[in-house]
Structure 1
Amino acid sequence: MTEITRFYNDFQPAHYDIYIDVNRETKRIKGTVKITGVAKSTDIAIHQKNLNISLVEVSGKQREFELDEANDALHLTVDKLGEVEVKIDYETKLTDSMMGIYPSYYEVDGVKKQIIGTQFETNFARQAFPCIDEPEAKATFDLALKYDEKPGELTLANMPENHVEDGVHYFDTTVRMSTYLVAFAFGDLQAKYTETKSGVKIGVFATKAHKPNELDFGLDIAKRSIEFYEDFYETPYPLPHSWQLALPDFSAGAMENWGLVTYREAYLTLDPDNTSLDMKQLVATIIAHELAHQWFGDLVTMKWWDDLWLNESFANMMEYVAIDALEPEWRIWETFQAAEAPAALQRDATDGVQSVHVQVENPAEIDALFDGAIVYAKGARMLVMVRALIGDDALRAGLKNYFEEHQYNNATGADLWNALGKASGMDVLAIINSWLEQPGYPVVTAKVVNNDVVLSQQQFFIGEGHDVKRQWQIPLSSNYAEIPTIMSEKEITIAGYQSLREKNGEPLRINVGNNSHFIVKYDDTLLSDILGDVTKYDSITQLQILQDLRLLAEGNQVSYETIVPLLSKFADSKYALVNTALYSVTKNLRKFVTPHTTEEQNLKELYNKLSEHQIERLGWKQTPNESVDDQLTRPYVVGAAIYGDNEQAIAQAHELFVANKDKLLSLQADVRAAILVNEVKNFGSSELFSQLLEEHRQSADGSYKADICGALTSAKDPVILRELVDKFEDAETIKPQDLRAWFTGVLANDEGEQLAWDWIRNEWQWLEDTVGGDMEFTTFITVIARILRTDKRLSEFKEFFEPKLAVPGLTREIKMDIKVIESRVKLIDEQKDSVNRAIKEAL
């Protein structure tokens, strides 16, 4: 196995002069790089990948060199230690992999166009220019950019452009930064600008396929986010501008390039007059996430990729801190509880999962570190836990000192914990270490034994797990003051339950606020007390009850049979968060029913029973001054009614479709997905398929395109589904960036599962050639494992993927996903009959 060699140990760049000439017609790039740095050895290596090197000079003298493609290296010798200048002439080509320097394709009024952008994280800067492509290798950069420019095109980079000479665009020298944060773009773009109170220029850029007002929301959120962070961090934004650029082709959600943040179009541009509230919240949090990185990640950068969580977990928490301050009526922390917490808890319960802090042993494993449920969601929960323990004053003071001490340099996790520890007077590292360095999390069992409360911790697994007796320092956060703040022991006893119950006047609860990364298993005495009147609790507590019971059922510690009768207690809640949890549980029940059976019909009737009062209350149309909760609840209940084959809902959705069939984009955004799904499922035709597919091709509205994807992949006609799968490799119809969503939709459709499963096994090499090497690639395996549920499919999954276990970057994912499917198959086998009885009895 190839091991990582740190080139920075032998050559430490201080400054780059980069000249890049791009020809879009030939897709060729010519470049020259001058690197001034300090040689620590006379034998040095510089990263390059797929570059045709024509000349290497050291301090003005031509030098022999050796290419080492296996290690992405250019090897050469220098005459002396100390400062040297290395000049390299090279050529390469634009990629079509959405990595390095690549074109994004789009249409305006039927005319095909492209803009050029970059994506250098994790280690793709080496595909654009020779460099020491490691996060620790910070330097300053002078960029000169030439291309086959047309009148009116815009040219963007990390820093402001200072002049144009002979068609070459020259940009100001950057601050000291890592190579993976270098970025530039050019093309026929529109722009909107504003300025922060401190004078930072803010810009949003998109293709002219978008309406100008689709840039307004992103511009406003970006401006206010920068202002918020300057205040919260007590550290000025370090650059003159902050550009936000929407790219038509973009693999990830967004990328925090310093001063030139890049996004998927759907996550920056939106119709301010007709976009659902949950989509606005998503876009706002993504923008706030990337701008949090401008300090945490860009100004201070992880020393090596094993501390990737240091960047991502922190930004994941701060996006919610920022948007909660900017839009308090959204109660955005509820979205954190509905999205981040369950994702982390589900993933982290599979034996073999990575810890938040994980060593990188192989270059190909770097991209595999980007496990969203762990590095982003679980890590953010760790930081939320720390924030709850130390408070905002200590958090801000610690961060200010952290930025001052490490600005323009690199840091490790220990540096952050030390800064927060000094500010709070707490040993933060001791508390957090057990959470960051160990995979998994505990279930805290709470029971009454001889009138004592006994709390114990044990690692929680979904499926088979090897218990190695891990222990955590658990912030218990109980509503009883008599319960300790931190539980570090395996078991603790608190005497006198009955007197404690009488004194406190309410049921005993643990992890109040759901800020800590564990679940609670109450015995019958304590659980019955809690369930006496669930509606009296706040929304987070109600979500937590459902969330913990669902996870315990997935881990086979309780039966889903016992959860089904509880669902009606939550059905009429006016809290959107509770409805999110309710319909998460009901969706999980689908795995227990066989398609086209009485069991499935019973489940559909249960959906109708749970949603009937809500859909009657809310209807299909928003009313003036409608609450945030009602806006966020409506998509759940109309979607439930459509799944439940509710005749009235089907008719109402069809009526709305017919009334708007020539202007589907204008359908109210929060119910548009359900209306389109209903039409395709219940009134589908080849004409409708063609109409929606064409609208998907033509539209630049990301929300609408996602709605069409969800609708078409829910089709029941096998002919239509076959035609859809045949489009998977047609990039003009389904962009590679969107392929996973289309594939997942068809695979999750009982009528399309075989088609999608056959396609990915037959076309794996094409898929690897198209999106392999991208940090999202392994998630194709992840989504398969979320869906397959039979012994037959488990055998087929093993047969196909086990031969790929030796592929770097895939090993952990394949091993984990085999366990995920195994546990689901076993759970269905053991609980199917009892769950279906409970569903029938609940009607």
Structure 2
Amino acid sequence: MVFCCGCKKFWVMLVVMALVCVATIVGLWVYQFATSPPPTSPWDRYRLPDVLVPELYDVMLWPRLDPDANGDYVFTGNSSVRFRALRDTNLILLHCKQLELAPMGDHLARLTALSGTTPLIRKTWLHIPMQYLVVQLNGALKAGQDYELYTEFRGKLLDDLEGLYRSEYYEDGVRKVVATSQMHPTHARKTFPCFDEPAIKAAIQLTVLHKPGTVALSNGKEFASVNIVVDGQAVTKTPFEATPKMSTYLLALVVSDYDYVSQNDSTEIRIWARKSAISAGHGNYALSVTGPVLNFFEKYYNIPYPLSKSDQIALPDFYFGAMENWGLVTYREANLLYDPVVSSNRNKETTATIIAHELAHMWFGNLVTLKWWNEVWLNEGFASYVSYLGADSAEPDWNVKDLIVLDDVHRVFAVDALASSHPLSFDEDDIYKPEQITELFDTISYSKGASVLRMLSDFLTEPVFLQGLKTYLSAFAYSNTESKDLWDHLQAAVEKTGTTSLPTKVHDIMNRWVLQMGFPVVSIDTATGTVSQQHFLLDPDAVVDRPSDFNYQWIIPIRWMKSEGNSKLSWLLEKHADRSEMQTSGEQWLLANINVTGYYRVNYDAANWDRIMAQLHTDHQVIPVINRAQLVDDAFNLARAKIIPMSVALNTTTYLIHERDYMPWESTLDNLDYLYLMFDGSDTYELMQGYLKKQVAPLYAYFKNITSNWSKVPDGHTEQYNQVNALRVACSTGVDDCQKVTSAWYTEWMAQPHNNMIHPNLRATVYCSAIGSGGEEEWNFGWRMFKNASIAIEANKLMAALACTNNTTLLNRYLNYTLKPDEIRKQDATTVIVSVASNVKGQALAWDFVRANWKYMFTEYGVGSFSFASLISGVTASFSTEEEFDQLVEFKEENSDIGFGSGTTALMQAIERTRANIRWVAENQEEIRDWFIQHT
């Protein structure tokens, strides 16, 4: 599963905060759970007893795409699960949530012994708190014998984006309904009674009844459909081949009238979407990428693709970015469909990398699955890491592998530097509630997981990493593992290949990075060669109350180079060490963490910082482009942590007047965003604008020139990204003629709504710029185009741009639309609110809106529609005053009875961050203001 964010910079704050706060987890859990009374019965525990092992589910589902007499959409079905008893027991527990079970005589299920005698059922009931169907027996199931439990059930086909749910869209003016699914992580139980834990794998034989004229899809290949009559109603019956042995969360089902494009090499590949999207060719790019990515992973894992077909489908309503259901991957439309007329190169990259992420899971996650959710990071972190490799194999000209530094490493640093961060792995006993499991799918699991695995592959070398990975997957195919199993196989590969560069075993190295939160800053004194490490905290006054068995000390691989040499690898095992080889002399500089393969920040003595700055001004390209981005990011965050003066960080931006590469510019703009958030409305803000205008003007002129006055796009992939940066920043800082250009393009489009000549790469920036400088007429036009957009990618750009207006009446109207699903889809409500909050004119409006409507959003919309963590972090990102701090505390107290769900930790982080921001502004504003006066 992957969380996806949209295009850059107007909403950089939105993207960063959304990823920052898809909720990290705090130590309060330990206290809360340790003090809970012990359960008195097996059905009072969240985890299933390890007594029964399912072998096969035989499931029939009939989702209704038309409402019943009460106006409800429903589904009905039945299920037989064949299982074996490992020990004698008189109790059967299956997960079951929000299902009505049909009585069978006196009970809610029917039990049959497949050998021996069938025990009589004594009592059955639905245990709502733990989401169980409980079956108590008069006799005992016998160890080693097989049984079958049969149930019939009915559920509502809601629009809550969980389990088996309803999605709607309009095509050619006709309303269409889709039945689709999201079982991950704990929603299969909402579809049929099952053993809904990842380690309890079984094959699933599915049959679907559906409306004639529609198509049913599932994990396995569909067999021939037949038309039958059931209860006097004509239906189509579609059976599917049984799935391999798999976890229930991977089950997928879609019923629609979609169409597809396909190709069939060694594996049949189909891309499904609305008929109009398929006929317009919007599935063609995904189809062209899927084959090469599958081929890459077959070679990478050295295991053939395990299934007979690979379906991918674009859904109008889908909470996550995509979901790796085995054989039927589900996506948000904007993440799978690509239209060269309206899609930007970033949209294209998103499609390629998300496809690669999901297909990576077909082996790592689906074929081999983690035993429990406490180590979900290994599943998602691995897919996030190799998604760059898969996308690179499909689009080798993009050099996309470097972008992991911006999109994952730097991004997760912002979260992992907080005192309220958490480790990658938890004790299994600490994670058992469904809401806890959901919270684990955060940027720590995805981005830190990807970052430390990339570091691991680098210091092992890729051939050794791959050898261990291949034996791991082969050994545990169709089974479940723990992270230590992967370390075992990687260690075996190290020993088999005779790798001697490691200072200790793989387990010992990786446990430091996995079992304790945070990361180090490595400090290098080039005058003495002294190297040291310390736990990096963005707020040095924060108190870390999560203990670490390793005392926040890491085993650190350091790749470094001097100005005249090649890179070398050294290891830091202690808090402090002497490394005479890292001493420098004269004008010689030293640079560490080459290409940012290590998950840590780097600080230097003042003299080395000065020598690096001198090199940037003399010939910046001598320093690798990734490290130019790193220098900026490290310096700004070291300054925020009071490790170096703020002036040193700001000095890293002065050479940018000569910089044309994307990564250093993007890193700079991301870091300056924090200053913009802190100093909105002050004279420091205006000084920043003047300085950034001076720095970006040459970049704007450069792209204006090479694009023949914006009439074409640059050739390079990241060069196209930097063209967008140049236009956006130039317009926002008042570079001559920029605003005039974007407004003219938008006005031309308003005059000819069916002939949008704005290049797709530039549309998000142009829309925001023109709506921001325009009035109600521009906003109303953008709203009409948003509502009429038939392509989700275009709708997303307009949806973000509508939040750019300076008209507070329009912003309030837009906020209120988020509570009306006919205006703003539930899946997009959080994005709209946070987009409004990212506008200085809308920040207070968005915060007031969230406070006024919290109870309604929390109780009526629910976790399937709102990301409460993203919401809280997004609307509070700029908080830096005592008044805002008091409002946060009051918000927490006033809603304590309602709760905050997945936003609980985000609220604590917001309070922590606001307190730190207040101190930071007080301590740094004068120095920063003076620096900008000097450099403007």
TM-score over 0.5 for the pair: yes
Tell me the CA shift for residue 522 of structure 1: 0.9
Asked whether the 8 Å contact 2:82–2:149 carries over to 1, the reply is yes
Rate the CA distance shift 1:484–1:289 in 2: closer, same or farther, 3 A.
closer
- What is the match of residue 30 of structure 1? 76
1:222 to 290, 297, 307: 290
Asked if residue 375 in structure 1 is aligned to residue 375 in structure 2, the reply is no
- What is the match of residue 605 of structure 1? 690
- Specify the SS of the correspondent of 1:340: helix
Tell me the CA shift for residue 777 of structure 1: 3.6
Distance 1:742 1:701 in 2: 18
- What is the match of residue 642 of structure 1? 731
- What is the match of residue 177 of structure 1? 246
Asked if residue 545 in structure 1 is aligned to residue 586 in structure 2, the reply is no
Tell me the CA shift for residue 841 of structure 1: 1.8
Tell me the CA shift for residue 602 of structure 1: 2.2
The unaligned stretches of length 5 or more in structure 1 are: none
Partner amino acid, structure 1, of 2:204: F
Distance 1:649 1:31 in 2: 60
Asked whether the 8 Å contact 1:97–1:770 carries over to 2, the reply is no
- What is the match of residue 286 of structure 1? 354
Deviations 1:657-687 (A, max 9, x none): 22222246542011111211121111222x3
Asked if residue 511 in structure 1 is aligned to residue 593 in structure 2, the reply is yes
- What is the match of residue 196 of structure 2? 133
- What is the match of residue 792 of structure 1? 883
- What is the match of residue 194 of structure 1? 263
Distance 1:533 1:555 in 2: 25
1:66 to 121, 125, 130: 125
Which one is further off, 368-377 or 54-63? 54-63
Asked whether the 8 Å contact 1:676–1:708 carries over to 2, the reply is yes
- Specify the SS of the correspondent of 2:561: coil
Asked if residue 838 in structure 1 is aligned to residue 931 in structure 2, the reply is yes
Map 1:33-52; keep pairs closer than 5 Å.
33-39=79-85, 40=87, 41-52=89-100
Rate the CA distance shift 1:554–1:114 in 2: closer, same or farther, 3 A.
farther
Deviations 1:215-274 (A, max 9, x none): 011111111111110111110000001111111000011000000000011100011344
Distance 1:732 1:581 in 2: 38
The unaligned stretches of length 5 or more in structure 2 are: 1-32, 40-44, 68-72, 104-108, 229-235, 496-501
Partner amino acid, structure 1, of 2:934: E
Deviations 1:611-655 (A, max 9, x none): 111111112625376223321101111110121133410111112
Partner amino acid, structure 1, of 2:219: N
Aligned length: 832
Distance 1:443 1:493 in 2: 16
% identity of equivalent residues? 24
Rate the CA distance shift 1:73–1:304 in 2: closer, same or farther, 3 A.
same
Partner amino acid, structure 1, of 2:543: H
Rate the CA distance shift 1:808–1:617 in 2: closer, same or farther, 3 A.
closer
1:447 to 522, 525, 537: 525
- What is the match of residue 711 of structure 1? 801
Distance 2:530 2:189 in 1: 57
2:558 to 476, 491, 512: 476
Rate the CA distance shift 1:741–1:410 in 2: closer, same or farther, 3 A.
same
Deviations 1:373-406 (A, max 9, x none): 2101001111001100112212222122111111
Distance 2:918 2:522 in 1: 26
Deviations 1:411-433 (A, max 9, x none): 11011111111112262111111
Rate the CA distance shift 1:430–1:665 in 2: closer, same or farther, 3 A.
farther
- What is the match of residue 281 of structure 2? 213
Tell me the CA shift for residue 601 of structure 1: 2.5
Tell me the CA shift for residue 484 of structure 1: 6.4
Asked if residue 107 in structure 1 is aligned to residue 107 in structure 2, the reply is no
- What is the match of residue 571 of structure 2? 486
Distance 2:383 2:604 in 1: 34
Partner amino acid, structure 2, of 1:191: Y
Rate the CA distance shift 1:484–1:282 in 2: closer, same or farther, 3 A.
closer
- What is the match of residue 582 of structure 1? 668
Distance 2:721 2:881 in 1: 34
Tell me the CA shift for residue 353 of structure 1: 0.8
Map 1:384-783; keep pairs closer than 5 Å.
384-425=454-495, 427-448=505-526, 451-463=527-539, 464-466=541-543, 469-479=551-561, 485-495=570-580, 500-501=584-585, 506-534=588-616, 535=620, 536-595=622-681, 597-619=682-704, 621=710, 623=712, 626-661=715-750, 662-663=753-754, 665-685=756-776, 687-774=777-864, 776-783=867-874
Greater RCO structure (CA 8 Å; 6+ sep): 2
Tell me the CA shift for residue 352 of structure 1: 2.0
Tell me the CA shift for residue 689 of structure 1: 2.1
Distance 2:576 2:178 in 1: 60
Distance 1:288 1:483 in 2: 32
Partner amino acid, structure 1, of 2:110: E
Let me know the Cα RMSD of the aligned residues.
2.2
Tell me the CA shift for residue 818 of structure 1: 1.7
Rate the CA distance shift 1:570–1:384 in 2: closer, same or farther, 3 A.
same
Tell me the CA shift for residue 525 of structure 1: 1.4
Tell me the CA shift for residue 574 of structure 1: 2.1
Rate the CA distance shift 1:584–1:697 in 2: closer, same or farther, 3 A.
same
- Specify the SS of the correspondent of 1:533: helix
Distance 1:128 1:74 in 2: 13
Asked whether the 8 Å contact 1:189–1:207 carries over to 2, the reply is yes
Asked whether the 8 Å contact 1:565–1:838 carries over to 2, the reply is no
2:920 to 813, 827, 836: 827
Rate the CA distance shift 1:543–1:664 in 2: closer, same or farther, 3 A.
farther
Distance 1:645 1:114 in 2: 47
Partner amino acid, structure 1, of 2:439: L
- What is the match of residue 106 of structure 2? none
Which one is further off, 712-721 or 600-609? 600-609
Asked whether the 8 Å contact 1:657–1:664 carries over to 2, the reply is no
- What is the match of residue 168 of structure 1? 237
Partner amino acid, structure 1, of 2:797: D
Asked whether the 8 Å contact 1:276–1:670 carries over to 2, the reply is yes
Rate the CA distance shift 1:777–1:625 in 2: closer, same or farther, 3 A.
closer
Distance 1:315 1:657 in 2: 39
Asked whether the 8 Å contact 1:592–1:836 carries over to 2, the reply is no
Which one is further off, 703-712 or 280-289? 703-712
Asked whether the 8 Å contact 1:564–1:842 carries over to 2, the reply is no
Rate the CA distance shift 1:560–1:549 in 2: closer, same or farther, 3 A.
same
Asked whether the 8 Å contact 1:368–1:778 carries over to 2, the reply is no
